[in-house]
């Protein structure tokens, strides 16, 4: 009988709701936006493959914004003779034209700066054949001028937190010729 009284007689007490209407309200956005996420694209000056990695950036401004962006991605390809791994480090100064629309922000962003490419070539089965030094493995490091033009969509999810998506064409100058590609990013942002 005491057990039934304890189970049925107690009242539930809560500290208050975990989520309130204020959580989902869109606030007037501040001028600073910081974002980071996963990137996917064509590697710089690499004719095949898909480059994956991470990227981040910060933009300051309302209608016209400026900022910095950086990303790192890698791609590997193999042939009968070689396994080639290239890592791209993109450093960009960026400018964007932005427009706030309801919970979202639309932007067109132009980024200019170097793409630093590190290449590692390893001869397949070379160690087994007794090769050493540059006969077995070579590395190269170069900086290439590049530009990105991206469409950006950012949607306020909760409070200052955003879901960010961007993508568009990218170009790099390698060996005196212009190489085109594309880049896309999906991530999270913060706008105080």
Mean pLDDT of each 10-residue bin along the chain, 192 residues long: 55 58 64 96 78 97 97 89 89 96 93 94 74 76 96 92 96 90 95 88
d(CA 112, CA 93): 5
d(CA 95, CA 8): 63
What count of other Cβ atoms lies within 10 Å of the Cβ of residue 74? 16
pTM of the model: 0.79
What is the model's pLDDT at position 37? 98
Domains observed in the chain: 30-187 (2.40.160.20)
What is the model's pLDDT at position 3? 52
What is the model's pLDDT at position 133? 67
What is the model's pLDDT at position 117? 92
Report whether 11 contacts 5 (CB < 8 A).
no
What is the model's pLDDT at position 10? 55
Cβ-proximal residues to 73 (8 Å cutoff; 6+ apart), any chain? 39, 40, 41, 43, 51, 52, 53, 54, 55, 87, 88, 90
- Percentage of the chain modeled with pLDDT above 90: 54
- Residue 99, judged by CB atoms within 10 A of its CB (0-12, 13-18, 19+), counts as exposed
172, 176, 178, 182 alpha-carbon torsion, rounded to 10°: -30
């Amino acid at each position: 009988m005491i057990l039934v009284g304890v189970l049925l007689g107690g009242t539930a007490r809560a500290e208050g709701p975990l989520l309130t209407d204020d959580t989902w309200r869109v606030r007037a956005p501040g001028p600073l936006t910081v974002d980071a996420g996963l990137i996917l694209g064509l590697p710089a000056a690499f004719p095949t493959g898909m480059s994956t990695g991470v990227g981040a950036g910060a933009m300051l401004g309302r209608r016209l914004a400026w900022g910095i962006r950086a990303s790192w991605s890698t791609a590997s390809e193999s042939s009968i003779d070689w396994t080639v791994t290239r890592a791209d480090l993109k450093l960009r100064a960026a400018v964007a034209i932005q427009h706030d629309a309801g919970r979202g922000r639309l932007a067109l962003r132009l980024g200019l700066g170097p793409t630093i490419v590190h290449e590692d070539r390893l001869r397949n089965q070379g160690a087994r054949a007794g090769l050493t030094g540059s006969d077995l493995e070579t590395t190269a490091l170069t900086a290439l001028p590049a530009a990105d033009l991206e469409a950006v969509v950012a949607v306020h999810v909760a409070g200052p937190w955003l879901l960010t998506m961007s993508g568009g064409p990218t170009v790099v100058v390698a060996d005196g010729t212009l190489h085109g590609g594309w880049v896309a990013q999906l991530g999270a942002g913060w706008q105080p």
